[in-house]
A and B are shown apart, each in its own frame.
Chain A
């Protein structure tokens, strides 16, 4: 089955700096890669996603890049703000047949004011 590895497990940055979270996946059939943000005590919520036919996607201060050859994808947050502090999960999915989503183990991001 799919295996998703996520690094780092914790990340501290100064407000205004950039943060990068990296994930690798094992199943070359995976073709959809969402990122979820989970604030303390809350439910995970989708913040951005990318499909395998696209190399990069951007939405304001967040962007995701995908390297299918190397089987890795990354989340980039620029101009970080204290409200970006949360746990971020990457995930990988093969949309063919059953839609099975495999999540990474999460990155706890702390933005220091």
Chain B
């Protein structure tokens, strides 16, 4: 079975541009998590969904960040406008349900210049 799929794997953009990161969870999983990893702050949970509904977005750093899950097989994390401090690796993870093991995707390395 395919694991969590993220695209793109690498994204380089200029400050002020809109960035959209994409995630396809493992089929049959109904919980989805977005994380951000930086050297300074480590791994941080940004938001998580259960059955396509955002449950907790308290980790979203500011209004420039938004996440959607229009169906069980697709989620997006959007940053508009992007800033250099948004440069990080963004991971998507999914689990069978809340409380079960989370499987991480390979991540998207975002660089904002």
A and B pair up: no
